[in-house]
Each structure stands twice: as structure tokens, then as C-alpha cells.
């Protein structure tokens, strides 16, 4: 009874007053003529001679919290029917299925039948028509969770950036088809551990063939990016089953997989695919240029011209931003930053702002890394406004300011750094450097207020030294571990004891030679001749000590 009581307190057993307290004798049933009884509503419950039902703790937890009902963030997974795209169409031709639903779209008094509106949008999505699906939903659909899911799917098909902000893009852990669409829409890509790969693979295999061709390359690329090449191979197999005649998508997938393992023939394969007059040529060209940029190779002119031509031809399409990005960075790889900045400034305003920002940040990174100082200064001041606007990343802004300070452009560096919303420790150090370069040590000290560390102490010592506060400067240099500069400050203030204690042999010898003697012997004790000899010897030693000190500082004429 004690064990039963403990189990009851944990919710592992429950009392069923409807169960008989004694075993009942069931009459024999002729199984040939009598139908089987219906299954019990509770499959865990068994016939028992006592009025108890029991289960394990694992069974209890599975009943109370179904697997993959919630994400780790606490969001509820949507019903499977919202994203079960494969179940929305059949084997009939596309025009037959669309026409059949459209004829039933309007009900009595020309009021749209909401179930038919949803059905028509689903058919459009199943065949890859995202724009048409959104048009139907915008014109005829009433708000609802199923409509919200369809809008997300339509945005995904059109590569609309708005899809990245949807809650559905975070549901990669769900155990239904939403996991596939969440993985495709997530930005940035999710962690590998938070993706339900079983649901992704099942959902992709259940898609109509047309959607497998459309989504296959993007899905494989995303899987490789999060470190799941084995799952990408499974997706490739599912795509191959529907790629008997049209192998364009399969070719791109194969290139993705080959690039992941570092196959030497990847570049040659991409060049062949990029030269074809086929839909996969654009994807192949983008992958080829990205690979060359990743390997820090120069992008050939022919590839840049092809990217610009395709961007013009596909203007307004989803591929245009990526093609413009490839051309812009291709120019930068050649060192032709005039053309790169010109191409970047001519982008249409309608292009995804995130793509523009990422491209310009990458362009600025390549610009800062190029070694030509004259080119850097000319283009920085020629493109000052767009550069300042694009340098929103802290590390990029710091790199630009650091190079400006190194080239003596302290005012430009200060202006760039002060455009930041919040100054970091590195920013304050650069501002101090710029102030010192601009001969304003007081401003340098102000920028270093509250900043600690050896770099800050070294700059603080420079500022204090220029202000004539040599003792404070010496202490700052000692905190920074710069003994050489600390000794220099000791020279400024005439701290001979410190120099004699911590100086090098040349400095110690110089101090010994020129320090006044403690005991001056009378001339009568030594005699004039001995005094003269001592004076000559001391003079020779002093000349040598002075020569050594001057030679250290490379002062010409030290031996004269």
C-alpha cells in the first residue's frame, strides 16, 4: 500500500470507480461470427481485477506533453495541415486543378467561400505561384491563422525578406512540415541542434515535384551551412527521384555538395553550368563568384559582365540583388574600387536593405584591407558619406578609423568614431590617439577617462608627457610596462636616483660621470700635478660617456 500511495502521489496511477472490483467472467465469443470489440478509448488501460490503471513515468510525461508540440522558446507548433503542401494537389494538370477551384470560389450573392479561397491559395502555393497566392489572400481572404501560414509560404516562394520576421521561421524544432519551411526562412540559419531533420526530410519528400526542384538547391545549401551534409545527401536523393528529364536543380545541388567536400573539379563544373542558357546558370554563376571571393581570387571581367547583364535582364526578380552583389564585390576583388563604389551606389532602392547593408560592409572590409594608401585616402574622401553610412559595424568602423589615424587624418577619424551610438573601449583609445596626433593632449586625456589597461596607460603617459606632467607620465608608463619611456620621463624631471637604479649601463655610467662628487679633496693633499692628471682622466671618461649617450640617439657629430 505504501508503494501504491507513492505512485498515486506522482500521478502514475488513478482510481477508476467504473471498473469492477472483481474479475468478470466473459462468455466465449465465436470469432468467426462476432465482430471484434472496438478499441478502448485509452490504449494504455488494461483489464484488471482491481480498480486501478497504472503507467510508467515516461508514459505519463508523453501524455501530458506531446513531443514537439512546443519549441524551446515556448511557441506552439501549428497544425500539420497548415503546411502539408503535398496534400493540397493531385496528379491532374495544374490548369485543371486551378480552374476547378476557381469555378467554386464564389458562393451565394457573390460572397467568397472562405474554404475555397484557402483551397485556391493552397493550390497556387503547391505549384510555386507565390504572387498569385498572395493576391488571392489579399483580395478575398478573411484574417485567420491558416491565412497567416499561407502568407508565410507565399513569401517564402518569392524570397520576400518579410518571411524572415515571421514566427514560423523560428519553428525548426516542430515535428511536422513547418520545420522544413522554418529552416528555409530562418535568418540567420538556426543551430544544428534545434532542427528536426526527420520532419524536414519527410516534408521535402512529400512535396510536389515542381516544388522539389524549386526548393532543393536552397535547402541543400542551408543544410550544408548549418553542418548537416548527411541530411543534404538525403535531400539530393529525394530530388533525384523527380529529376529524370530536368536535371538543372540536381546539377546545382551536386555542385553544392562537391564544393562542401572541396572537390577540385567544382570550379570547372560551375563554369560550364554558368555558361548554359538554363535556369541553373544564375545559381551556378553566383556560386562560382562566391567561391572565388572566398578563396581571395580575382573575379574575371567576363563573370562580372555576365552578372551585370543578368541583373539587368532579371531586374525586379529575386536573383537581381545577389547578381548585383556579385558584380560589386567582383570589382573590389580586382582592386577596381571606383567601379565597385559606383555599382553599389546605383542599386535600386527597392532591393532588400539587408542585402545592400551586407554587400557594402563586405566592400568596405575589402577596401580597408587593400594596401594602397593613396587610393584609400582618395576614395575615402570621395565616398565619405556612403562609407560613413555603411560603417555601422563596430569592428569595421574601428578599422577605418585606425587606418585614418595611421595616415595622419586625425580629424576624419574623430568624426567617423563620434558617429557611433555608443563608444567602445577601442573607440576611446582611437579617439585618444587621434587627439594626440592632432596635438591636443588634453582632449586625449579626456577620452581616456575611465579606460584601463596597458594600451590606455601608454597613451595616458604620452598625453601627460606633452602636458609637462613628467612624473605622472612616468608612473603611467610604469603601469603600462614601458620601462624605456618611464626612464625618459625620469630624465625630464632629473630623477637621478631612479635612473641610477633602473637605467642601463650606458645611462648609469653617464650619471656617475656627471654627478657632483660627494667628497671634494683639497688641492694640497694631492698636489697640482696629480690634480691635473685626475682632471684629464675624468674629462676623458666624461667625453666617452657623453659620446655613448649621443651615439644611442644617433646624433651626428657625436665623436667630434
pLDDT digits (tens, 9 = 90+) for 456-488: 999 999 999 999 999 899 899 989 988 888 888
Neighbours of 408 (CB within 10 A): 13
Residue 263 has what pLDDT?
Answer: 59
> Could you tell me if 197 and 132 lie in one domain?
yes
Enter the DSSP assignment of 15.
E
Per the model's pLDDT, the better-predicted residue between 66 and 123 turns out to be 123
Whole-model pTM? 0.63
Range with the largest mean pLDDT of 43-52, 450-459, 483-492: 450-459
> Could you tell me if 8 and 137 lie in one domain?
no
Structural domain includes residue 436: no
Long-range contacts of 9-17 (CB under 8 A, 24+ apart): 10/57, 11/60, 12/54, 12/55, 12/56, 12/57, 12/60, 13/52, 13/53, 13/54, 13/55, 14/52, 14/53, 15/51, 15/52, 16/45, 16/51, 16/52, 16/53, 17/51
> Could you tell me if 49 and 118 lie in one domain?
no
Residue 2 has what pLDDT?
Answer: 64
> Could you tell me if 60 and 100 lie in one domain?
no
Structural domain includes residue 112: yes
Report d(CA 554, CA 558) in Å as an integer: 8
Q: Is the pLDDT of residue 3 over 80?
A: no
Q: Is the pLDDT of residue 26 over 60?
A: no
pLDDT band at 262 (very low <50, low <70, confident <90, very high): low
Residue 536 has what pLDDT?
Answer: 79
Structural domain includes residue 257: no
Q: What is the mean pLDDT of the chain?
A: 81
Q: Is the pLDDT of residue 29 over 70?
A: no
Residue 348 has what pLDDT?
Answer: 78
List alpha helices for 226-300, DSSP H.
229-240, 248-261, 266-274, 280-294
Distances (CA, A) of 361 to 26, 94, 341, 422: 79, 44, 12, 19
DSSP notation for 90-109 = -SS-HHHHHHHHHHTSB-GG
Residue at which a domain ends, from 186, 207, 228: 207
DSSP notation for 177-218 = THHHHHHHH-SSPPPGGG--HHHHHHHHHTS-HHHHHHHHHH
CA proximity to 289, closest of 308, 273, 270: 270
> Per mean pLDDT, which range of 234-243, 316-325, 359-368, 486-495 is the poorest?
486-495
> Could you tell me if 84 and 176 lie in one domain?
yes
Structural domain includes residue 186: yes
Q: Is the pLDDT of residue 331 over 50?
A: yes
User: Model confidence over 153-199: pLDDT tens digits?
Assistant: 999 998 888 888 899 999 999 999 999 999 999 988 899 999 999 99
Report d(CA 354, CA 525) in Å as an integer: 92
Q: Is the pLDDT of residue 88 over 80?
A: yes
Report d(CA 56, CA 165) in Å as an integer: 41
Burial of 18 (0-12, 13-18, 19+ CB in 10 A): exposed
Structural domain includes residue 201: yes
> Could you tell me if 88 and 160 lie in one domain?
yes
pLDDT band at 264 (very low <50, low <70, confident <90, very high): low
> Could you tell me if 30 and 90 lie in one domain?
no
Q: Is the pLDDT of residue 276 over 80?
A: no
> Per mean pLDDT, which range of 126-140, 298-312, 352-366 is the poorest?
352-366
Under 8 Å between Cβ of 329 and 289: yes
Structural domain includes residue 82: yes
Report d(CA 310, CA 455) in Å as an integer: 50
pLDDT above 90 as % of the chain: 43
Residue 419 has what pLDDT?
Answer: 83
Residue 519 has what pLDDT?
Answer: 54
CA proximity to 222, closest of 260, 262, 261: 260
> Could you tell me if 95 and 2 lie in one domain?
no
Q: Is the pLDDT of residue 542 over 80?
A: no
> Per mean pLDDT, which range of 60-74, 123-137, 420-434 is the poorest?
60-74
> Could you tell me if 34 and 100 lie in one domain?
no
Residue at which a domain ends, from 207, 223, 243: 207
Residue 467 has what pLDDT?
Answer: 93
Total domains in the fold of the chain: 4
pLDDT band at 56 (very low <50, low <70, confident <90, very high): low
Report residue 53: phi and psi, to 5°: -120, 140
Q: Is the pLDDT of residue 440 over 80?
A: yes
User: Model confidence over 355-407: pLDDT tens digits?
Assistant: 888 899 999 999 999 999 999 999 999 998 888 888 877 888 899 999 999 99
Residue at which a domain ends, from 43, 65, 87: 65
Residue 554 has what pLDDT?
Answer: 66
> Could you tell me if 134 and 96 lie in one domain?
yes
> Could you tell me if 47 and 116 lie in one domain?
no
| Domain coverage including residue 533 | 504-560
3-state SS of 360-389 is HHHHHHHHHHCCCHHHHHHHHHHCHHHHHH
Report d(CA 378, CA 361) in Å as an integer: 19
Residue 36 has what pLDDT?
Answer: 47
Q: Is the pLDDT of residue 517 over 80?
A: no
pLDDT (mean) for 272-296: 83
Neighbours of 529 (CB within 10 A): 8
> Could you tell me if 181 and 201 lie in one domain?
yes
Structural domain includes residue 431: no
Per the model's pLDDT, the better-predicted residue between 503 and 215 turns out to be 215
Structural domain includes residue 485: no
Per DSSP, the three-state class of 38 is: coil
Q: Is the pLDDT of residue 244 over 60?
A: yes
Amino acid at each position: 500500500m505504501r508503494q501504491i500511495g507513492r505512485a498515486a502521489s506522482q500521478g502514475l496511477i488513478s482510481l477508476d470507480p467504473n471498473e469492477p472490483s472483481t474479475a468478470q467472467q466473459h462468455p466465449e465469443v465465436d470469432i468467426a461470427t462476432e465482430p471484434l470489440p472496438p478499441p478502448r478509448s485509452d490504449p494504455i488501460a488494461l483489464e484488471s481485477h482491481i480498480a486501478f490503471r497504472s503507467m510508467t513515468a515516461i508514459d505519463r510525461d508523453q501524455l501530458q506533453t506531446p513531443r514537439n508540440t512546443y519549441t524551446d522558446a515556448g511557441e506552439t507548433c501549428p497544425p500539420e495541415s497548415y503546411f502539408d503542401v503535398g496534400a493540397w494537389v493531385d496528379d491532374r494538370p495544374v490548369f485543371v486543378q486551378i480552374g476547378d477551384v476557381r469555378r467554386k470560389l464564389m458562393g451565394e450573392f457573390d460572397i467568397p467561400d472562405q474554404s475555397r479561397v484557402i483551397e485556391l491559395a493552397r493550390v497556387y502555393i503547391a505549384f510555386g505561384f507565390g504572387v498569385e497566392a498572395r493576391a488571392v489572400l489579399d483580395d478575398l481572404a478573411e484574417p485567420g491563422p491558416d491565412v497567416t501560414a499561407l502568407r508565410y509560404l507565399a513569401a517564402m516562394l518569392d524570397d520576400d525578406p518579410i518571411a524572415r520576421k515571421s514566427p514560423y521561421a523560428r519553428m525548426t524544432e516542430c515535428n511536422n512540415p513547418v520545420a522544413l519551411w522554418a529552416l528555409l526562412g530562418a535568418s540567420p540559419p538556426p543551430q544544428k541542434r534545434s532542427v528536426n531533420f526527420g520532419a524536414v526530410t519527410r516534408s521535402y519528400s512529400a512535396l510536389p515535384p515542381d516544388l522539389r526542384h524549386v526548393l532543393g538547391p536552397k535547402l541543400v545549401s542551408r543544410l550544408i551551412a548549418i553542418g548537416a551534409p548527411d541530411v543534404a545527401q538525403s535531400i539530393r536523393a529525394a530530388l533525384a527521384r523527380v529529376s529524370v528529364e530536368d536535371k538543372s536543380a540536381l546539377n546545382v545541388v551536386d555542385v553544392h555538395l562537391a564544393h562542401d567536400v572541396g572537390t577540385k573539379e567544382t570550379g570547372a563544373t560551375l563554369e560550364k553550368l554558368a555558361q548554359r542558357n538554363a535556369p541553373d546558370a544564375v545559381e551556378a554563376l553566383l556560386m562560382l563568384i562566391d567561391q572565388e571571393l572566398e578563396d581571395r581570387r580575382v573575379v574575371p571581367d567576363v563573370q562580372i559582365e555576365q552578372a551585370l547583364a543578368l541583373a539587368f535582364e532579371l531586374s525586379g526578380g529575386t536573383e537581381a540583388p545577389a547578381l548585383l552583389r556579385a558584380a560589386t564585390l567582383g570589382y573590389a576583388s580586382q582592386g577596381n574600387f571606383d567601379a565597385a563604389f559606383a555599382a553599389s551606389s546605383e542599386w535600386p532602392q527597392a532591393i532588400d536593405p539587408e542585402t545592400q547593408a551586407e554587400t557594402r560592409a563586405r566592400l568596405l572590409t575589402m577596401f580597408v584591407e587593400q594596401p594602397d594608401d593613396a587610393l584609400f585616402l582618395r576614395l575615402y574622401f570621395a565616398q565619405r558619406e556612403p562609407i560613413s553610412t555603411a560603417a555601422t559595424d563596430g569592428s569595421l568602423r574601428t578599422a577605418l578609423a585606425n587606418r585614418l589615424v595611421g595616415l595622419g587624418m586625425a580629424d576624419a577619424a574623430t568624426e567617423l568614431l563620434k558617429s557611433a551610438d555608443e563608444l567602445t573601449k577601442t573607440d576611446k583609445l582611437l579617439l585618444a590617439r587621434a587627439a594626440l596626433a592632432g596635438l591636443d593632449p588634453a582632449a586625449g586625456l579626456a577620452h581616456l577617462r575611465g579606460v584601463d589597461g596597458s594600451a590606455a596607460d601608454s597613451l595616458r603617459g604620452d598625453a601627460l608627457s606633452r602636458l609637462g606632467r613628467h612624473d605622472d607620465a612616468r608612473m603611467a608608463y610604469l603601469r603600462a610596462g614601458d620601462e624605456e619611456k618611464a626612464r625618459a620621463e625620469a630624465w625630464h624631471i632629473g630623477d637621478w636616483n631612479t635612473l641610477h637604479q633602473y637605467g642601463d649601463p650606458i645611462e648609469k655610467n653617464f650619471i656617475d660621470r656627471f654627478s657632483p662628487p660627494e667628497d671634494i679633496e683639497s688641492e694640497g693633499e694631492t698636489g697640482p700635478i696629480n690634480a691635473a692628471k685626475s682632471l684629464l682622466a675624468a674629462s676623458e671618461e666624461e667625453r666617452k660617456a657623453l659620446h655613448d649617450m649621443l651615439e644611442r640617439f644617433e646624433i651626428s657629430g657625436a665623436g667630434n
